[in-house]
Structure 1
Amino acid sequence: MASVELHQVTKSYDGKTTVVHGIDLEVAHGEMVVFVGPSGCGKSTLLRMIAGLEGISGGEVRIDGRRVNEVAPRDRDIAMVFQDYALYPHKTLYDNMAFGLRLRKTPETEIRTRVLDAARLLRIDHMLERKPSALSGGQRQRVAIGRAIVRQPKVFLFDEPLSNLDAQLRTEMRSEIKKLHQRLGATIIYVTHDQVEAMTLADRIAVLSAGNKVQYATPQDVYNTPAALFVASFTGSPPMNLVPCRVEAGHAVLGDVAVTLPPDLVQRAGAAQSHTFGIRPENISLADHGGVPVPAHVVITEPLGAETLVTFAVGACELVARCSASFREAPGSARTIYLASAAMHLFDSASGLAV
């Protein structure tokens, strides 16, 4: 295991186009950190700079306290798992997993021990004599992960390893990777565009946008206290309700509907009037549990089996709420909804940052 430190890491092309802007973060020993963000946000580029596959335009990368900016990828003591499994089709699974160790002149007895241990851990020990063409996508991904495990590196790097799998298999493999991390206690940096993967796998999440680190925190903090509008809109399914508002006399005015804000939020909002009001669907209820009452009308209902998503019209805006599966009210029905004060958010309209 090892720590990873990034200090003001930047990446530019031709000295003009900067795609990663001064990233600072630390990954602790044994921690699993996920880089998440939309396509083109710089997450894979950042991972490749840690691996040494991309040059660093500025700043510093340290692995286990050692500066590695000028160190070749093979000498960084990392193992990388790619989106493409990159298995040798003519080799058995055993030989695929053993290949890197043989290149390093590792004794054959040690190779056998490492490969068998990794195969048992990944539950593929019964198929080591097969070739990749005889495997499913999930099994091939296990082999690719096993090839990384046998290296016994200081740091594992995963670059969107599940994106080629179907939805059900992604869910299964996500669970397997989480169990694997718990068993190995390894330092892992994982890249994905899928916020569900990020939330379920990570000890901490680095949310990236346009080459900038927007927030670096635990999944709970990213979800419950987003640092910016981008984070609030990117996390959650459905995402946070976000509505332009004015803050006047202790209220968020959503069009022509005034919602009472908690005093601490009013104080943080200060003199600025133009904000975006936010609240997550699960923090809107149909029963009065001490929330702020707001008159509303049902717009549409979306039954999902275990729950029903209901879109309510509040004045000229709309708010989505998570309701029970038994919700049956027709579109146009009048209903008072209750917004949880402690779960309200305000974002500065100019900067996009949480107040």
Structure 2
Amino acid sequence: MADVQLRQITKSYDGKNNVIHGIDLEIPDGQFIVFVGPSGCGKSTLLRMIAGLEPITGGDVLIGGKRVNDEPPRNRDIAMVFQDYALYPHKNLYDNMAFGLRLRKTPEPEIKRRVMDAAGLLRIDHMLDRKPAALSGGQRQRVAIGRAIVRQPKVFLFDEPLSNLDAQLRGEMRTEIKKLHQRLGTTIIYVTHDQVEAMTLADRIAVLSAGHKMQYASPHEIYNRPAALFVAGFTGSPPMNLLPCTLRDGKIDLGGGAVVDLPAPLQPVATLASELRFGIRPEDVALAAAPEATALSATVVLTEPLGAETLVTFQVGASELISRCPASFNLKPGSPMTIYLPAEKIHLFDAASGNALR
């Protein structure tokens, strides 16, 4: 096992325009770290630079305290699991998992021990004589993970390994990967564009946008204290309500007559931005009165029953807010009602810089 350090990592394909912009990350030994962001944000490129599959334009990558910029992938003591399973179709599962060890001249008794241990851990030990064509997508992905496990590397790298699976199987494999990390305790760096995967798997999340690190923190911190407008709008399903607003007489004006009390902790910083964005999570838009919550007149615009809950879109002044409501919510579009916004759940962002005001 080993820690991983990224020091001012940059990447350019033409020598002029960077696609990765000076990223610093400290990844402690044994942690599960997720790089998340939309397509094209640079998360897979960053992972490939750690693996040695992509040249580094600037900065340093350290694995276990050793600078590995110029080391080929085979010397970095890492194992990578790709989006496509990359299994040999003519080999059975045992030989697929043993192939890398045989290339390294590992003795056959040791190969057998490692393959059987990994297969038992992944619950595929009863099918080692089968070939990949006889397996489901989830089983093939287990074999690909098993092939990485038998290497016994210092660091595992996962590049969107579940994106080819259906929704139910993705959920099952997320659970299996989480359990696997708990058993092995090895450092894992995992790339995904799915923020649900990121929130459920990670010890810490690095949110990336256009090659920039927007925030690096625990899932709880990312969700409850987003450092930037991009992070607030990317995490959560549905994401945080983000509305243009202004300050008027010490209050937050959402337009159309909707005015919210400015929370005391935000009063010293609210005037630092010339243009503001107001933010609140859908689950924090309440239907019942609470202490230090602003009451607002609202009109039901749309209801979306989801079984366990109902998402309701409200017209509030000049803007719309989405709220997570109980499944029993049954008011029709056009119905008036009162909603409540708790002061401690309100976020303000500087619209120009995109940074949270704290």
Q: TM-score range by the shorter chain?
A: over 0.9
In structure 1, the residue matched to 2:281 is 280
CA shift digits 1:91-128 (9 cap, x unpaired): 01000000000000000000000000000000000000
Q: Does 1:55 align with 2:55?
A: yes
1:169-211 CA-to-partner distances (Å, cap 9, x unmatched) read: 1111011100100111110000000000000000000000000
2:305 to 303, 306, 313: 303
For 2:253, give the aligned amino acid.
V
d(CA) in 1 for partners of 2:273, 2:356: 13
Aligned to 2:271: 270
Deviation at 1:249, TM superposition (A): 2.5
Alignment of structure 1 residues 217-296 onto 2, 5 Å: 217-256=217-256, 257-290=258-291, 291-296=293-298
- Work out the CA distance in 1 between the residues paired with 2:272 and 2:158: 45
The amino acid across from 1:284 in the alignment is V
Deviation of the 1:250 alpha carbon: 2.4
2: CA distance, partners of 1:264 / 1:248 = 17
1:338 equivalent among 323, 330, 340: 340
Determine if contact 1:11/1:57 at 8 Å carries over to the other structure.
yes
Letter in 1 for 2:61: V
Q: Structure 2 stretches of 5 or more lacking a match?
A: none
CA distance in 2, matches of 1:70, 1:272: 44
Aligned partner of residue 141 in structure 2, secondary structure: helix
For residue 322 of structure 1, give the secondary structure of its aligned residue in structure 2.
Answer: strand
Instruction: Measure how far apart 1:88 and its partner are.
Output: 0.3
Aligned residue runs from structure 1 range 162-181, under 5 A: 162-181=162-181
> Is 1:29 matched up with 2:29?
yes
Residue 348 (str. 1) matches residue 350 (str. 2): yes
Deviation at 1:273, TM superposition (A): 4.3
Give the letter aligned to residue 342 of structure 1: E
- CA distance in 2: counterparts of 1:182 and 1:242, whole angstroms: 36
Tell which deviates more after alignment, 71-80 or 11-20.
11-20
By how many angstroms is 1:271 displaced?
A: 4.3
Deviant stretches of 4+, over 4 Å: none
CA distance in 2, matches of 1:146, 1:232: 36
Q: Structure 2 CA distance, aligned partners of 1:91 and 1:271?
A: 64
For the residues of structure 2 that align with 1:202 and 1:30, how far apart are their CA atoms? 12
Correspondence list, 1:312-331, <5 A: 312-331=314-333
Match for residue 39 of structure 2? Answer: 39
Local SS of the residue matching 1:145: helix
Q: Aligned equivalents of 1:79 and 1:34: distance in 2?
A: 16
Query: Size of the alignment, in residue pairs?
Result: 355
Matches within 5 A, 1:60-139: 60-139=60-139
Percent identity (aligned): 73
Q: CA RMSD in A?
A: 0.7
Match of 2:2 in 1: 2
Which 5+ residue runs of structure 1 have no aligned equivalent?
none
Is 1:247–1:274's contact at 8 Å kept on the other side of the alignment?
no
Give TM-score, length-normalised by structure 1: 0.99
Residues 250 and 263 in structure 1, CA contact (< 8 A), matched pair in contact too? no
User: What is the rounded CA distance, in whole Å, between the counterparts of 2:315 and 2:220 in structure 1?
Assistant: 29
